[in-house]
Amino acid sequence: MALDIPLHVQYIQNLGQSHDELAYHLTAHLRLNAVYWGLAALCTMGHKEALDREEMIQFVMSCWDEEAGGFGAHPDHDAHLLSTLSAIQILIMQDALDKLDIPRVVSFIVSLQQPSGVFAGDTFGEIDTRFLACGSMALSLLGHLDKMNKEKAVEYIQRCKNFDGGFGSCVGAESHSAQVFVCVAALAILDRLDVVDTDTLSWWLSERQQPSGGLNGRPQKLEDVCYSFWVLSALSILNKLDYIDSDKLTAFILSAQDPEGGGIADRPGNMVDVFHTHFGVAGLSLLGYPNLQDLDPVYCMPADLITRMGLRKGWKALPRRTTTI
């Protein structure tokens, strides 16, 4: 099975039209993230124009939380770091950063860094290495990385490092592929990849590949398409992408497509969603799948854009193939 780009583009275009489905409304708290996933997937598939630019920018700006100085996931939802990063990523991909009150949003992000170095997601203070990565990523994209305490952030990530080479969501937590991605990406942004025990971590990451070809998030867990990105991004940042079988993984991701309605699911035969569609396509791009655009694994955004911004780090994806075999 090949990647059905036209069908996935159509699937993403239709997402905004599903107001008559309950699930659409129950996921409003993820709307801005979903717009980022959709746009990033379209960019990777070379169809950025499939969603209306003006409408998208207008929606992003309608999520601005004036009181907090950040973005919520939906109009009238509270500002949160997760949605604020999505907003920044979208505005940059749409070349619309002029719409943003950069000093305010920078001060919102910086205010979330805790004395320990980690970031909270919002003013109520839930901490997670995810938020540390979101904060570093957002500040770096805005050219204000020097506003955060980089040493403390690195120190916190170091404290989250486990004997298996991986990283957890907070001090003491078990290694998890998604947390490995956020910690490795943050370390790449902070130019401190020396913190990573590359041999041990790339071993652990390579062991995520299951007999089906898919990747899992932790030992003895089920494979899932979204780990194609979490694991592959970390491996490509460590320049160890050849430690997994790319043909088998490619086949696994492709087999999770919905050949009728479009989109990609977590596993073959399951319901699709935009999250897995984006991370499946992102994984395929890193694996050199033909006719896709290069994706930057650190920022999970178009590689040429990140290169133009002067933010490209020393990662390596597999060379882009010209045929599907």
Partner 1 sequence: MHGIKRTRLTQEDIQAKKQREQTKITEYLALTEQVLSRKKHKDWSEDALGLTSKLLQVNPEFYTVWNYRRNILLQGLFPRGTPEQNNQLLVVELTMTMGALKSHPKVYWIWNHRRWCLENIPNGPGEAQEDGADGWKKSAWDKDLFVVEQMLDVDSRNFHAWNYRRYILSNMPKPRPEKTELTYTKQKILSNFSNFSAWHQRSKVLSSLWASGKLGESKSKENEFKLIRDAMYTDPHDQSVWMYHRWLVGNDISQEVLEREIETIQELLAEQPDSKWCLESLVHYKRMQLKNHKEKVDTQVLTGECQRFLAHLGELDPMRSRRYEKIASQLNTI
Instruction: Report the interface residues with partner 1, using CB under 8 A.
Output: 20-22, 25-30, 72, 76-78, 80, 122, 124, 126, 162-164, 168-170, 172-176, 202-204, 206-207, 209, 213, 218-221, 224, 240, 242-245, 248, 258, 260, 265-267, 269-273, 275-276
Report in angstroms how near the CB of residue 44 gets to partner 1 at its nearest. 20
DSSP state at residue 113? B
Sequence-distant (6+) residues with CB within 8 A of 143 are none
Residue with tokens 């001090």: 171
Of 29 and 144, nearer to partner 1 (C-beta) is 29
Give CA 41 to chain center in angstroms. Answer: 11
Of 220 and 322, nearer to partner 1 (C-beta) is 220
Cα separation of 79 and 81, whole Å? 7
Cα separation of 255 and 228, whole Å? 13
Of 242 and 304, nearer to partner 1 (C-beta) is 242
Report in angstroms how near the CB of residue 77 gets to partner 1 at its nearest. 4
Report in angstroms how near the CB of residue 21 gets to partner 1 at its nearest. 7
Of 173 and 195, nearer to partner 1 (C-beta) is 173
Residue 74 corresponds to which tokens in the numbers above? 């939906």
Of 84 and 169, nearer to partner 1 (C-beta) is 169
Of 150 and 276, nearer to partner 1 (C-beta) is 276
Report in angstroms how near the CB of residue 271 gets to partner 1 at its nearest. 4
Report in angstroms how near the CB of residue 243 gets to partner 1 at its nearest. 5
Report in angstroms how near the CB of residue 164 gets to partner 1 at its nearest. 6
Cα separation of 207 and 216, whole Å? 9
Cα separation of 268 and 263, whole Å? 11
Cα separation of 138 and 194, whole Å? 22
Cα separation of 230 and 179, whole Å? 8
Residue 315 near residue 239, CB atoms below 8 Å:
yes
